[in-house]
Chain A
Amino acid sequence: QQQVKQSPQSLIVQKGGISIINCAYENTAFDYFPWYQQFPGKGPALLIAIRPDVSEKKEGRFTISFNKSAKQFSLHIMDSQPGDSATYFCAARVYGGSQGNLIFGKGTKLSVKP
């Protein structure tokens, strides 16, 4: 019940295309869902996050879509660029709880071809 399942494992997208990464969870106590971007040799960087009281959040080219009833959320990268090539992790946590640990998906390696 603590798992976050992420798909696909890898993704190849042409420059200018839309990249879509999906995640699903079981624990209904989760109420904070961040996405992290990680480049080789670097730590994960917080990209965008959502709480389940909204169905969508957009920041620049990055959008999170959230479906509470299906317990699924996804990251959309519009107009994908070669510089977006990185590994993306979804995560979940009980936002209001005293324990702040994140449960991560296994990651998606995105390659954007020029």
Chain B
Amino acid sequence: KAGVTQTPRYLIKTRGQQVTLSCSPISGHRSVSWYQQTPGQGLQFLFEYFSETQRNKGNFPGRFSGRQFSNSRSEMNVSTLELGDSALYLCASSYGPPTEAFFGQGTRLTVV
């Protein structure tokens, strides 16, 4: 059974640009959550989608957005990139919100 797939694995962007990250959950999983991981702040929750609906959102500015498609695949978008957005962005999938979450390998975003 394939795991959570995140693409791309690495990205380098310039300040002010926007970026879209993609996540394909484990087959059968309908819930996708996104987390930002930095050395200083650790793992912080961005948002959670279930059946194409955003069910929960963390404390991040509106520049961070996401969506989920009917096949449960999810994308997150960051607009007007700042240096501080450099981080590992992780996607986790589960059958539903209260069940075990499995993470992908992440997308390493570097903003220069």
**What residues of chain A have their CB less than 8 Å away from a CB belonging to chain B?**
32, 34, 36, 41-46, 49, 89, 93-107
- Chain A residues with CB under 8 Å of B45's CB are 101-103
For the A-B complex with A44-B103, A101-B56, A104-B44 known, give 15 more contacts whose Cβ atoms are closer than 8 Å.
Answer: A34-B101, A43-B6, A44-B43, A45-B103, A94-B98, A96-B98, A99-B55, A100-B50, A100-B94, A100-B101, A101-B33, A101-B58, A102-B33, A103-B45, A106-B42
Majority secondary structure, A binding face: loop
Q: List 22 A-B contacts (CB under 8 A).
A: A34-B101, A43-B6, A43-B105, A45-B102, A45-B103, A46-B101, A46-B102, A89-B42, A93-B98, A95-B98, A96-B98, A97-B97, A97-B98, A98-B97, A100-B31, A100-B50, A100-B98, A101-B58, A102-B43, A102-B45, A102-B101, A107-B43
Please list the residues of chain B having a beta carbon within 8 angstroms of any beta carbon in chain A: 4, 6, 31, 33, 35, 42-45, 48, 50, 55-56, 58, 90, 92, 94, 96-106
Chain A residues near B103 (CB-CB < 8 A):
36, 43-46
